Amino acid sequence: MRYSRRGIVALGLAAALIALPACSSSANDDDGGSSGSGDTEVEVFSWWAGPGEKEGLDAMIADFTTKNSGIKFNNAAVAGGAGTNAKTVLATRLQAKNPPDSYQVHAGLELASDIEAGYVEDITYLYDQQGWKEKFPKGLVDAITVDGKIYSVPVNIHRSNLLWFNPATLQKAGISAPPKTWAEFLTQAATLKSKGITALSIGPGWTQEHLLENVLLGELGTDKYTGLWNGSTDWKSAEVTAALTTYTKILGFSDLKSAAADWQPALDKVVDGTAAYNVMGDWADGYLKGAKALKFKTGYDVVATPGSEGVYNFLSDSFTLPVGAPHKGAAEKWLVECGSTEGQDAFNPQKGSVPARTDADKSKYTDYLAAALAEWQNPATKIVGSLAHGVVANNAFKGEIDTALQIFVQDGNVAKFADAVAKAYDANK
């Protein structure tokens, strides 16, 4: 008798322990189960949670919900690290076959592994239906087409090859104009150093890669630069070696040793006048104009990085249609919003980027953005893609470059770096 009572108690407890987690998991499943017609909700995954980009996304969501009043917008933004945190969360969800209705991705080869894995739908039909192929510049459409198919809708265009400076600092140092070539930059840097000003401020690893791509672009020109990513330019050639040597010299004039923890504090040094230049993408404009309340041209100014005038080194945020999206109809409507003039004009002035469409409303873009838009829409502008922001290298190749560059920045061994990158290209193309 004693045994059986104890047994029953044990059995009961065991059953309760098993049932407990089972209950909670079934409760979790309930709120995502409205899969039937599925047009009451759309879940959009992005890393737009920081200042500027959040306002831009909100403006686009507002426009979306007025057009599609029946759809509840579920903003699944993951903050931090220029999207690195979001990408980790996303990879887990995609592998678990639990995709959002649409997710943000840098346009270009960053999407290659998702296409290969069959995670995203071919949405060329949306391009035909909306006539987008005529509305986006040809250089951009080519860059996002993979084997004749298009898998994402670009919302905005950022420019990577920009050199930011404070006109007052240059004046104080007796420098009349920013440099046109990296060689001229090095001469100016020596002058600046003698006056106790850091020539170039720099931030964490990815900003060093951002600098590298623009040194390579300025030193090699557009064709050879593009060749670095498709195998037609040899990483171990004399020209590339010379460009990489220039890069180490430029770093020698930077504040690499006490590098800032992020790009904003690196720009702060330019604002304060302790550093003269900073190479950063045009999201810097929103920061300087907004958070720092500076006036374009007088408080801060910008030119193309040395040797890259007339070139648009672009990166772009785009949205996709995942295979198995729970609310496909609503997701398509979201993509149409992303590609529309109203959507792009709502988002871009806030984010500090230019619209991918060439027929956008010019009056909404002022100061830096007006100049950038004019350049983007100019048919003579050459378009190349950014390395640090996922356009020209697939994730595996880029990951190996990231590591090799970190070692290179520390030991300055040009031959070893070129060799490592060339090997990584062969292994991951």
Partner 1 sequence: MTQTSRSTSESGSGAAVVGRGTQPGPKASKVRRRLRAWGPGLLLVSPSLVLLGIFVYGFLGWNIRVSFTSWRGQTPVYDWVGTRNYSELFDNERFQIDVRNLAVFTFVFIGGSLLLGFVMAMLLEKGVRFEAFFRSVFLFPMAISFIATAIIWRWLLNNGSGESTAGLNKLFDNIGLGFLFSDWHKTPSSWAIAAIALPAGWALSGYVMALFLAGLRSVPEELREAARVDGAPERKVFWHVVRPMLLPVLMSAVVILAHISMKTFDLFYAIDQGNLRIDTPALYMWFTTFQPGFFARGATIATLLLFGIALVIVPYIWWSVRTERRK
Q: Which residues bind partner 1 (CB under 8 A)?
A: 3, 6-7, 9-11, 13-14, 17-18, 81, 84, 87-88, 91, 94-95, 113-114, 116-119, 204-206, 257-259, 261, 274, 395-400, 402-403, 406-407, 410
Nearer to partner 1, 8 or 242 (CB): 8
- CB of residue 21 to partner 1, shortest distance in Å: 8
Pair 375, 393: CB distance under 8 Å: no
* C-alpha–C-alpha distance, residues 247 and 245, integer Å: 5
CB atoms within 10 A of CB 198: 21
Crossing angle of helices 53-67 and 328-339, in 10° steps, is 120
CB of 13 to partner 1, least distance (A): 6
DSSP string, 109-120: GGGHHHHHTT-B
Q: Give kind and range of the element (H or E) at residue 279.
A: strand 275-279
| Bridge-based pairing state of the strands 102-106 and 41-46 | parallel
Decide whether 72 or 423 has the Cβ nearer to partner 1: 423
Closest distance between partner 1 and the C-beta of residue 394, in Å?
Answer: 9
Q: For residues 314 and 408, which CB has a smaller minimum distance to partner 1 in the complex?
A: 408
Instruction: Look up residue 64 and give its DSSP letter.
Output: H
Smaller CB separation from partner 1, 295 or 423: 423
Minimum Å distance from CB 14 to partner 1?
Answer: 5
Judged by CB, which is closer to partner 1: 71, or 409?
409
CB of 297 to partner 1, least distance (A): 27
Kind and range of the H or E run holding 355: strand 354-355
Q: Which is nearer to partner 1, 88 or 366 (CB)?
A: 88
Q: How far is CA 237 from CA 229, 241, 244, in A?
A: 14, 6, 11
CB of 351 to partner 1, least distance (A): 23
User: Distances from the Cα of 96 to the Cαs of 75, 89, 93, 324, in angstroms?
Assistant: 20, 11, 5, 12
